[in-house]
Amino acid sequence: MEKKTFWDQIKSFRYRFWMVNLVEFLERFSYYCMRSVLGIYIVTPAKNGGLDLSQTQKGNIFALWALVQCLLPIFSGGISDRYGYKKSICVSFALNAIGLVLMGVAQEYWTFVLSCVLVAIGCGTFKPPIQAILSGNLDKENASVGWGIFYISVNIGGFLAPFLASFARAHSWQYVFFCSAGLILLAYPCLFFLESPKKEKESQKSIKQVVLDLGGLARNIPFVCFLVIYSIFYIVFMQIWDTSPIFIDQWVESNHIISWMGQITGIEFLQKTAREGTQIPAELMLNINTFVIILFAMPVAFLFGKLKHLQSMIFGMFFCAASLLLCGFSREGVWCLLGIALFSIGEIACSPKFSEYVSFLAPENKKALYLGFAQVPFAFGWAAGSVFTGWISDRYSDIYALSARYLTTVLNVMPEQIQKIPRGEWLKTLAEHLKISIPEAKALLWNTYYPPKVWYIMAGIGLLSIVAMILYDRKMKQKKINM
């Protein structure tokens, strides 16, 4: 049968499909408003309103977040199949709102960790039911475009969020978290108009049956191998959001981009901003990711819809790994933007295909269960990547840690003296010892320790996952499992 045209696929979507996308948009708007600057907030010195933690501590928090948010759907997905998708979403929104408010007022380490766990539980409860409702509104003819539209709704929320976050944190870090809580509450009324698939009412699975279903999934060796390979890839994938904002904030010079834009457009505001030496906030630099996805998600999804699922994912994984080399190529912001843009194309190629592949592998009455179990790569990849990059960042790229290292190993300052100085003052202290400016101190540290080596390590891990996926693809073709 001839494949439907793009516009025929668009016209085939029902009202319920668009309501799912609206709820997803609001939830992601809330999430990314907080998440786009969370890493920066955690490591920002206390004098600037941050938590003043190390990158290792940041990595540990994100690892715990990953395990909770991504392993929970293994169970919540099956429970959502039984008790109702809309009820699950209501619970997730309540947990998110409470956690976000607590995050904004938390001053102690463990209170902040608790707030992160609450938000992680909320996010982990939300994803399987919303994807299950979406999957119930798609068929093989329109699935690629349907998941592409869903991904656009995610990224429209993700695109708007950093602007709100940047504006809010310019006034107070607390406003970031309160704005996020307000957005999640705004999504509540939309649930009254959200329709669940009819099969939800017919589900009679007991908790025991959910556990048995999980056991059956664990014995599905090809499916488990696929998830293991993807978990290796996710060690790399998530760091574009967790590590690059801090790297950009500490190292990347983006004033020349503002200057160039001012010259091209003739806008006096941009020209004045450039003369003042202003840098583009890291969250807005990273926002090129969602901008590219919004522009190209539909055509790229349609193009890659002609490829088999695994082939599309392999191409996407390659683009993502290669992009990391560009992100660390230079301190000039334009190279970082090019790297983020390339990463975005790779994300379009592989992320929707991952969910689509898992959805079509799942039996009709177990889609939420499969999609929930498919969070395993996110959990272990994200967690391992968070701990690992936190550790290597503190040793190879964190500007405060490198400042302390230079002070002790080159200038022979006693470690006890450094510990008496607030962490946020270490770079300034280095500049004062050398009688140079802070920008000159940054350049010295860059040339001495070369922080981009963190990205080269990540790219190497990405290449390993690509080779593994190619071998998996060949094996599945031999077994005629690949679609």
What is the reported pLDDT for 357? 79
**Segment among 142-156, 343-357, 432-446 with least mean pLDDT:** 142-156
If one compares 350 and 13, the residue with the highest pLDDT of the two is 350
Residue 448 has pLDDT above 60, yes or no: yes
- HSE-up (13 A, CA, CB side) for residue 70: 21
Average pLDDT over every residue of 339-366 = 81
Give the Cα separation of 345 and 477 in Å (integer). Answer: 26
Q: Which helix (H) or strand (E) holds 62?
A: helix 55-83
Per-residue pLDDT at 200 = 45
176, 33 Cβ separation under 8 angstroms: yes
Supply the pLDDT for residue 201.
46
Transcribe 93-149 into DSSP letters: HHHHHHHHHHHHH--SHHHHHHHHHHHHHHHHHHHHHHHHHHHTT--TTTHHHHHHH
Question: What's the average model confidence in pLDDT over 186-194?
Answer: 81
Mean pLDDT of the 234-256 span: 91
pLDDT at 198 over 70: no
Band of the pLDDT at 131, cuts 50, 70, 90?
confident
Q: How far apart are the first and last CA of the chain?
A: 17
Q: What is the DSSP letter of 332?
A: B
Sign of CA dihedral 436, 438, 439, 443: positive
Q: How confident is the model at residue 4 (pLDDT cuts 50, 70, 90)?
A: low
pLDDT of residue 252: 93
For residues 438, 443, 448 and 451, what is the CA-based torsion angle, rounded to 10 degrees? 100
Considering the chain, what is the average pLDDT of its residues? 85
Percent of the chain exceeding pLDDT 90 equals 46
Mean pLDDT of 162-188: 93
Q: Using an 8 Å Cβ cutoff, are 133 and 196 in contact?
A: yes
Does the pLDDT of residue 195 top 90, yes or no? Answer: no
445, pLDDT greater than 50? yes
Q: How far is the CA of 218 from the CAs of 69, 77, 240, 370, 383, in angstroms?
A: 19, 15, 30, 11, 20
Q: Which amino acid is at 302?
A: F
Please determine, for residue 204, whether its predicted confidence score (pLDDT) is greater than 90: no
Q: Give the domain ranges of the chain.
A: 6-193+204-397+451-479, 400-449
How confident is the model over 102-119, as a mean pLDDT? Answer: 94
Instruction: Please report the DSSP string for 338-391 in residue order.
Output: HHHHHHHHHHHHHHHHHHHHHHHHS-GGGHHHHHHHTTHHHHHHHHHHHHHHHH
Q: Give mean pLDDT, residues 217-236.
A: 83
Residue 53 phi/psi, 5-degree rounding, is -100, 165
- pLDDT tens digits for range 388-399: 999 999 999 999
Which pLDDT belongs to residue 481? 52
What number is the average pLDDT over the span 109-136?
88
**Which class is 6-193+204-397+451-479 in CATH?**
mainly alpha
Q: What integer pLDDT is reported at residue 172 of this predicted model?
A: 93
